[in-house]
Structure 1
């Protein structure tokens, strides 16, 4: 595996202990079993794997630590988990199970100090801040709180810089309007944020091809993440967990 190339990271969504995939954060479609996906990605020598439990924050359910334990025990690659982490203790349990990183999103609207506390205890390299962005009714791009389904009146650049200053080691920028569409990343936003951030910026939302990875990296992203590209195959979107090496190794 070539460690010199940028990271290409599958992001897998979970709901009710199952893998699902959304389009524009809606209509989750059943994909399969998380453990089976881990085993497949092990064989594919994936750079890193992200699991986001979209049910925890929206439905205020508890983190399924038993499932996370099974995932970690089967994984041969670095893992990141997000979803339902509300306290320092929640994150600590995830780390204890063997996950290298935790991803924080909705909780930061109410308790941004959690980011600092975790960064100081576990190191900023272990803490990922994730920001969802979505166009409002007037077509203006805003920070989006997916757990409450509403926009937040923050300047996106200011908010991203704030999260960096609070101790985030990486920032994921996820475009809701592009999620599952294969239309490519929001390159203008990537360019804008990469110019002000010192930490790695990870693009998420909209990837449909190798060219999309290349364009995001050229726009300033440090790494690219995708969902649909790694769980569907072909124009009819047949479910197929995949990580084709010709797709991810030829992007530089």
Structure 2
């Protein structure tokens, strides 16, 4: 079994890290370069940087912020937001990103997943899935454009397909749990983790140290991603790792 990873997420809008609840009511959380450096020093296993308004505004990710952030850290760094071509991926990787995360563009153009995987390797391609429970279906639906648009696609079917297309990892966000600090969406995470063989990063809802234990054991996730609790110093990464080790969960 691979060691579990703890990953802070930097949601960036207009050059600043922001965080909200259920994808709205954003508040400022600091400078992305500064926060990235702090997390590197505090023992984060990786970082995820998401330019959350890029797809909505129809522009590319901020290359300069990526370059500066990459220059400050030594841990793997995933970048997403507004990436719609292999050339976009190339520019970000050259700027210092280690992995590329695609969401809206992957739904609109699934071949982007396979094209990116062929060019850079599957380990480089992370497909982000924003999921919300659809009561009419009795299962979860994929949303795009920063959680603003329904896709009409079922999460489990899409997760299997992105794996077939060559994605190396899935970044799974529960829109209903996002920012609530009520715990990760364990049924969603478990369902996706069991449906695919590639690693699943659980996102949305972390509010306590025990939430990470739950998502790794009950949710079968490979990594736990959080923003609010780390940005506002509610929980330290070292505390999370110490707790997991004490309960027999292998962490890096």
TM-score where L is the length of structure 1:
0.91
Q: Tell me the equivalent position of 2:95.
A: 97
Residues 5-44 of structure 1: pairs in structure 2 closer than 5 A: 5-44=3-42
Q: Cα gap change, 1:244/1:39 in structure 2, threshold over 3 Å: closer, same or farther?
A: same
Structure 1 residue 139, shift from structure 2 partner: 8.7
Q: Please, which of 239, 244, 250 is the counterpart of residue 243 of structure 2?
A: 250
Number of aligned residues: 243
Q: Tell me the equivalent position of 2:198.
A: 199
Q: Please, which of 119, 128, 131 is the counterpart of residue 130 of structure 1?
A: 128
Find the aligned partners of 1:188 and 1:231 in 2 and give their Cα distance: 26
Name whichever of 183-192 and 159-168 sits farther off.
183-192
Name the SS of the counterpart of 2:205 in structure 1: coil
**Counterpart check, 1:211 vs 2:221:** no
Name the SS of the counterpart of 2:70 in structure 1: helix
User: Are the equivalent residues in 1 in contact too, given 2:212–2:240 (CA < 8 A)?
Assistant: no
Q: Tell me the equivalent position of 1:238.
A: none
Structure 2 spans left out of the alignment, 5+ residues: none
Structure 1 residue 98, shift from structure 2 partner: 1.7
Q: Tell me the equivalent position of 2:73.
A: 75
**Counterpart check, 1:86 vs 2:84:** yes
Structure 1 spans left out of the alignment, 5+ residues: 235-241
Name the SS of the counterpart of 1:80 in structure 2: strand
Find the aligned partners of 1:32 and 1:228 in 2 and give their Cα distance: 12
Find the aligned partners of 1:216 and 1:75 in 2 and give their Cα distance: 27
Find the aligned partners of 2:107 and 2:195 in 1 and give their Cα distance: 21
Q: Tell me the equivalent position of 1:152.
A: 151
User: Are the equivalent residues in 2 in contact too, given 1:132–1:146 (CA < 8 A)?
Assistant: no
User: Are the equivalent residues in 2 in contact too, given 1:183–1:208 (CA < 8 A)?
Assistant: yes
